Chain A
Amino acid sequence: MKNPLDSLWGTVISGVILTAILYAIVKSILASAGA
């Protein structure tokens, strides 16, 4: 499998996917903390 970081588009798309994953994690942390 090709490394997505070898292309600019692969890098940007990976960043957006990572944002979505981290967003879900942070949202659940904030929800469980009742913040």
Chain B
Amino acid sequence: MDYVPALARWIHFLAGVMWIGLLYYFNFVQVAAMKAATADGTAAGISKHVAPRALLFFRWAAVVTWLAGAALLSDKFVDAFLLRRGMAGIGVGAWLGTIMLFNVWVLIWPNQQKILGLKPATDEEKTKARRVAFLASRTNTMLSIPMLFFMAGGWSHRAIFGL
């Protein structure tokens, strides 16, 4: 099936742009905007109408990106994750993407549910949730930098790897 890798690559890119685009929106725009909006009493607009929608597309785009990436690796999936048979470059990208997916579903989303009031939480729990979600999101932003370097490594990267 020659169509599967092409479709998988296309979907991987589309979903990946949405995932990392929203991650950068959260880190480069929303964190600072929330601070300013809280100061002038307009934060409810963001936390009620913007953040839940952004998080919906963010977390599901992460899943689609990972699944399409796995389909794209296909029979080289295990080689990539074991960093063997010349797959170390894309393998590191795959590991970073997998860690980021874990952060989205295990650290960011459950804590954002508490912060946004979608799940009951005390003020103390919300304060802790804010810090955990923030650091997990910042960690993903940091990891996205090497992740994209290794994911986007094609022929352009062969020379710098000495291949």
Contact = CB atoms under 8 A, between A and B. Distances in A.
Contacts of B142: 5, 11-12, 14-15, 18
A33 interface: yes
A1 interface: no
Interface string B28-52: 1000000000000000000000000
Main secondary structure of the interface of A (DSSP, over half): helix
Contacts, number: 63
- Size range of the interface on A? 20 to 34
Interface residues of B, number: 24
A8 to B, nearest CB: 7
B163 A11 contact: no
Interface of B: 27-28, 83-86, 88-89, 92, 135, 138-139, 141-146, 149-150, 160-163
